[in-house]
Amino acid sequence: GAVVSQHPSWVICKSGTSVKIECRSLDFQATTMFWYRQFPKQSLMLMATSNEGSKATYEQGVEKDKFLINHASLTLSTLTVTSAHPEDSSFYICSARLVQETQYFGPGTRLLVL
Amino acid sequence: SQKIEQNSEALNIQEGKTATLTCNYTNYSPAYLQWYRQDPGRGPVFLLLIRENEKEKRKERLKVTFDTTLKQSLFHITASQPADSATYLCALDEEGGANNLFFGTGTRLTVIP
C-alpha cells in the first residue's frame, strides 16, 4: 500500500528557533501533499496544500511566512516552523494524494516548543 | 457556518456488538465522504470512501452509509473487537474544491472485552 513517512517523529526546541519537518511518499509519486495540525482532543485542521514545483496554498488564518512549505520533488515536501513559540506546539501530520480522492497520512510529528 | 459533527465524543461497547458512529455535516455539498481510523499519537489511516451517488459501502466488518438528504453518514463495525478501539474520523471534500479534506472531531471508540 501507499506509505508516507515523516521525520522527525518528535522534536523539542527552544522558543525562537526554527524546525523543519520532512514528509516523504515512499512508494509513489505525489504531486500534491497536505499539511495538517492537530491539537489535543481536536480534529485535524488543514494548514496548507503543497503542490510540486509551485507555491503552497495556505488556509485562512495560517501565516505563510511562519510556516514555510517546500515541495521540491514528487516524493518530498517540507514544513518549516520559523521562530517557533510555545503556542506552535502541536501534532503536525502530512498526507499525500495517490488517487483523486484518497489521502495517505504520515505518522505525524509531535513538536514541543519550550 | 460549515460544520462536521460526530455526535459522540466517546462510545463504549461490548465486544461482539455492532458499533455505530454518526457523522453529520452542515453547509457542505460533498462529492464523497471518507472514514479514517486514528490511533493515539499516529496519523489517520484510510478505511472507506463513499460517493454521493452511493447509499452503502462495505469492507469486511465495516459498513458505511451516506444520506445526502439527511446530510449524514453512518459507520458500522460489526462483531467488534478490542483491537477496533481507536478514534474514528469522518472527512469530506467540498463541491468544486480541490479535493481538500475537512475532518470531523472524531469519536473515540472503546470495545470492552
Question: pLDDT tens digit string along B56-69?
Answer: 999 999 999 999 99
Please give the pLDDT value at position B1: 79
Whether pLDDT at A112 is above 80: yes
Chain A positions in Cβ-Cβ contact with residue B36 (cut-off 8 Å): 105
DSSP string, chain A: ---EEEE-SEEEE-TT--EEEEEEESSS--SEEEEEEE-TTS--EEEEEEETTS--EEPTT--TTTEEEEEEETTEEEEEE-S--GGG-EEEEEEEESSSS-EEE---EEEEE-
Whether pLDDT at B54 is above 70: yes
pLDDT confidence tier of residue A21, bands split at 50, 70 and 90? very high
Please give the pLDDT value at position A27: 86
Mean pLDDT, residues A12-16 taken together:
96
Average of per-residue pLDDT values in chain B: 92
Sign of torsion, CA B84 A28 B33 A88?
positive
* pLDDT, tens digit, 9 for 90 and up, residues A29-69: 888 899 999 998 888 999 999 888 888 999 989 999 999 99
Please give the pLDDT value at position A30: 83
Give the whole-number percent of chain B exceeding pLDDT 70. 96
Q: Do A107 and B99 touch (CB under 8 A)?
A: no
Interface of B with A in 12-71 (CB under 8 A): 32, 34, 36, 41-46, 49
Please give the pLDDT value at position B94: 72
Please give the pLDDT value at position B95: 62
Q: Do A110 and B45 touch (CB under 8 A)?
A: no
Please give the pLDDT value at position A73: 87
Give the whole-number percent of chain A exceeding pLDDT 70. 96
Whether pLDDT at B96 is above 70: no
When CB atoms are compared, the residue of B43, B46, B98 closest to A102 is B46
Average of per-residue pLDDT values in chain A: 91
Chain A positions in Cβ-Cβ contact with residue B66 (cut-off 8 Å): none
Count CB-CB contacts under 10 A for residue B95.
10
User: What number of CA atoms fall less than 13 Å from residue B17's CA on the CB side?
Assistant: 14
Chain B positions in Cβ-Cβ contact with residue A108 (cut-off 8 Å): 41-43
When CB atoms are compared, the residue of B43, B102, B106 closest to A105 is B43
Residue B94 DSSP label: -
End-to-end CA distance of chain A: 37
Q: Which of B3, B48, B51, B101 to mutate to test the interface with A (most CBs of A within 10 A)?
A: B101
* pLDDT, tens digit, 9 for 90 and up, residues B3-33: 899 978 899 999 999 999 999 999 888 888 9
